[in-house]
Amino acid sequence: MAETQDVRSAAASATLVPKGSKDVGALVELMLRLGKAELASGEAVTQVELLMRRMAVAYGVGDARIIVLPTAIFVTIEGGPEDRTALSEGPRENLRLDQVADVYALADEAQRGTLDPADGLRRLAEILRRPSRFRPYVVVLGHAILTVGLALILLPTFTNLLAAGLLGALVGGVKMLNRDQPVLSIPMPVVAALMVSALVFLAVHYGLKVNPVQLLIPPLVTFLPGAMLTLAMVELAYGDMVSGTSRLITGFVQLVLLAFGIAAGAALVGVSSAALLATSVEVGIEPWAAWVGVLVFGLGVYLHFSAPRRSLLWMLLVLFIAFGAQKAGSLLFGSQISGFFGTLVATPIGYLIQLRFRGPPAMVTFLPSFWIVVPGSFGLISVTRMFTDRAAGLDGLVTAVFVVASIALGCLVGASLYKWLTEYFGWWWLQIGRVGSYIGRITQPKRGRKTD
């Protein structure tokens, strides 16, 4: 989280780009592509605009006009021989976690003005073309592992875990086959939900002792728009009504598509709509199973989303803290606002790891916690209930909206908490920063060694 002083220092040490030169064209192109890459990383439009404005100031073209939307970016540079206006469409797919880390590192150089625009364009193209750190079968295995981890949190029976692993591997394989075809990414959630639903209800029909609800959610967790819905609430709180509303509607539509896929899969095998959410088995859940599930889930996310090197421990740290805070909030205040406490602590810790301990970007360590904290599954269940009981489904959906709003509030308060700590505990924060820099030097890969 950079402060206003960072912008002034960037301006003071700016590498001025003469207006009207070819360098301005390269700078504008770099601003557009970096902004698009950060949107694909899951960043809010407000922060993307801030990055692009800092870049303009750092390169001596501070009179830039910038508008960022989830689906388009507009940049105008004025004051030269002629005005330059450029636009770019928004991203069509999200980046892997290793790409997110490299994009943020490149953006950090760009907003300080220490990056040649042409070189930045070349490096960004390399980042976006770079294949996953892991082989395809490891990526599929990672999806199966994270599915089992979530099943451990929801319902840790042997049958449930075995079925979740198989379904997770199936969905991971389908995603892998579809990774180079972005056109098919839109119907992908429906296809995956239909396959999972058909197999689950077919197994229940033949006597397999599983809970359909607890088994439907884990394989589809990476399609749940919990992060999108929370980001929409954050942007609405910042006053970005267009971006926030569009993300909110998109997230809701994705929930409806998933629910439609579940209903279609049940109908395909001849299961009535009244049996969609019927409970087949109830067991006592051991408290330790959920914590083991968080560990397994974090390992699966690390493999499936190709997280950067030496980021696993940081990711697990944020996951455990967020999950623990959510559990404590649930015991003290109820489950509906427990997500507030999870994101309240996860947000400043993510920034602390990035800026004081020289760890991976906050987005890398924070995004996995969304699938633990954000009740996207609760929203999916509520939408699915609309097929059988519209009143109950709508009531549950409204409750889910309030839950997501509390999580978004946790993000905002957590970010403000980090800023307050840096301002009012400056000396102690400096000492933490020195310790963090030492730990960061130990945990970072050595220069010259391959990182992909």
- pLDDT tens for each residue of 254-279: 888 888 888 888 888 887 655 555 54
pLDDT at 285: 57
- Phi, psi (deg, nearest 5) at residue 77: -110, 120
Q: What is the dihedral of CA 68, 69, 73, 75, to 10 degrees?
A: -30
pLDDT at 392: 60
pLDDT at 397: 66
Task: State pTM to two decimals.
Answer: 0.81
Q: Which residues in the chain show pLDDT less than 50?
A: 1-15, 19-22, 279-281, 283, 376, 427, 435, 438-439, 445-452
pLDDT at 11: 42
pLDDT at 146: 93
pLDDT at 425: 59
Helical residues (DSSP H) of 133-157, grouped into ranges = 136-154
Using the structure block, give the residue that is written with the tokens 């997770």.
168
Question: Is 380 in contact with 254 (CB distance < 8 Å)?
Answer: no
Sign of CA dihedral 331, 337, 343, 344: negative
Domain residues of the chain, as ranges? 4-129, 137-442
Question: Is 185 in contact with 93 (CB distance < 8 Å)?
Answer: yes
The rounded distance, in Å, linking the Cα atoms of 38 and 49 is 10
The rounded distance, in Å, linking the Cα atoms of 142 and 223 is 15
pLDDT at 341: 86
Using the structure block, give the residue that is written with the tokens 């309240």.
344
